[in-house]
A and B are shown apart, each in its own frame.
Chain A
């Protein structure tokens, strides 16, 4: 590995650790609280509003700094998403994601971060999630992408 590759891996490790620690503090590792936020007609739990609000406001402010950088510290360019159209895969995919999110109370970040807690159902969720991702890529690769 080159020194830049080692620095990039260290940057990812550090960012991931802060992300996982933030998730742990926020209470969002707990599917019950995520489902509580989604349960608007039942015992509504607003925690997720504070988590997402804090995250988006911080990231919004941080974007002002990012835009001042001609390029990232450890890479040649920013890898911005290239898609701009609001299309059927975006809406259908997000709807399927939302149904799964509601059923389990887990989304990808918290599900991975919860693995060290050792719950069997977390492992089952993550394994199924990876299968779902691979399945998606197989299906769409066959359509001749």
Chain B
């Protein structure tokens, strides 16, 4: 279980950040919403502030631990582009992603978010199972 402690600690920080943002600004820390509004040039200061912070996070990690976190991207370039299009279009259509629905929606016991999370987790599981030929 100790191997998953960083994941748990990281999760606690993510939840804490979302609550801090909500208490200070009154807004839900939904990343797809933040990027979507930024793409429409709405609320530039607050949304750009969050996005810049999001990118400072791993830089702070680099400063503290001497290396960036481990990342390996298995998808080819065309697949990464297709994935991006689906994630962008789908998250706006479904009014949220893993942060808005997944973290705050579930914490608020929102029925819409529960349906969204079950739907995207199942769709993701089917996709990866087919992609990797796991069955």
Query: Which secondary structure dominates chain B's binding surface?
Result: helix
List of B residues within 8 angstroms of A32 by Cβ = 72-74
* B74 in contact with A50 (CB, 8 Å): no
In the assembly, what is the distance between CA of A24 and CA of B12, in Å? 12
**Interface band, chain A:** 35 or more
Partner of B20, one of A15, A28, A112: A15
List of B residues within 8 angstroms of A121 by Cβ = 73, 75, 77, 80
In the assembly, what is the distance between CA of A77 and CA of B56, in Å? 28
Q: In the complex, which residues 47-94 of chain B have their Cβ closer than 8 Å to any Cβ of chain A? A: 47-61, 68-75, 77, 79-94
**Chain A nearest CB: distance from B90 CB in Å?**
3
Partner of A114, one of B71, B88, B94, B102: B71
Query: Which residue of B has the minimal Cβ distance to A100?
Result: B86
Query: Which residue of B has the minimal Cβ distance to A35?
Result: B128
Query: Which residue of A has the minimal Cβ distance to B104?
Result: A59
* B107 in contact with A125 (CB, 8 Å): no
* A23 in contact with B40 (CB, 8 Å): no
* A99 in contact with B7 (CB, 8 Å): no
Count A-B contacts at CB 8 Å. Answer: 495
* B27 in contact with A79 (CB, 8 Å): yes
Partner of B84, one of A69, A84, A125: A125
Say whether, besides A18-B13, A90-B116, A41 and B98 are in contact (CB < 8 Å): no
* A102 in contact with B104 (CB, 8 Å): no
* A55 in contact with B95 (CB, 8 Å): no
List of B residues within 8 angstroms of A29 by Cβ = 58, 69-71
Query: Beta-carbon contacts of A27-55 to B below 8 Å, as 1s and 0s?
Result: 11111100100111110001110111111
* A50 in contact with B8 (CB, 8 Å): yes
28 A-B pairs in the complex with CB atoms less than 8 angstroms apart: A16-B49, A17-B54, A25-B9, A26-B9, A27-B10, A28-B10, A32-B72, A42-B134, A51-B8, A52-B11, A52-B102, A54-B11, A57-B12, A72-B23, A81-B95, A92-B94, A102-B123, A103-B131, A107-B91, A117-B71, A125-B81, A127-B81, A128-B82, A128-B85, A130-B35, A130-B39, A133-B91, A135-B88
